[in-house]
């Protein structure tokens, strides 16, 4: 049994991030739930980058921060970390800052590098 299994470094079974479609196309149900985050820090970083990327895809040249937020609430996707209580990242904490200044570093938007499904795909390739 590893430290990850005992909860020493995270919740037993890990953390999950729910992706929510703000356009309402999926109703109140999440678009997907990403599983496999072994630490809260990993889940938080993924969710933060996912939301940042979603907001930047809604941004058009010349938009005010209020217009960026309006577009995101109409067409964007939010990410919600499940578990972690008060330490779980929430988009509301940084949304205004994200809207006020465009991401200057591509790494701020690179949620794919933190996606645990990527690790699972790599493990399957090695096994084959």
Q: Concatenate the DSSP letters of all residues of the chain into one string.
A: --HHHHTSSS-TT-EEEEEEETTSTTTTS-SEEEEEE-SHHHHHHHHHHHHHHHHHHH--TT--HHHHHHHHHHH-EEEEEES-GGGS--GGGTHHHHHHS---SGGGG--GGG-HHHHHHHHHHHH-
State the average pLDDT over residues 103-111.
Answer: 96
pLDDT at 17: 97
In this structure, of 23-37, 47-61, 78-92, 105-119, the range with the lowest mean pLDDT score is: 23-37
Q: What is the mean pLDDT of the chain?
A: 88
**Cα separation, 88 vs 1, whole angstroms:** 26
Share of the chain above pLDDT 90, in %: 72
Return the bridge partners of 99, or none: none
Q: Give the pLDDT band (50/70/90) at residue 24.
A: confident
What band does 9 get if pLDDT is binned at 50, 70 and 90?
low
pLDDT value, residue 5? 45
Lowest mean pLDDT among 4-8, 33-37, 87-91, 116-120: 4-8
Domain ranges of the chain: 3-127
């Amino acid at each position: 049994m590893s430290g990850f299994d005992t909860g020493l470094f995270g919740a037993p079974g890990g953390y999950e991030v729910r992706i929510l479609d703000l356009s309402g196309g999926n109703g109140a149900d999440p678009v997907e739930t990403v599983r496999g985050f072994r630490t809260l820090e990993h889940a938080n970083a993924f969710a933060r980058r996912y939301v940042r990327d979603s907001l930047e895809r809604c941004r058009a040249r010349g938009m005010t921060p209020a217009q960026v937020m309006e577009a995101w609430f109409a067409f964007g996707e939010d990410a919600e970390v499940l578990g972690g209580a008060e330490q779980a990242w929430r988009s509301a904490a940084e949304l205004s800052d994200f809207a006020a200044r465009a991401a200057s570093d591509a790494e701020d938007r690179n949620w794919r590098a933190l996606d645990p499904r990527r690790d699972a795909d790599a493990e399957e390739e090695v096994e084959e």
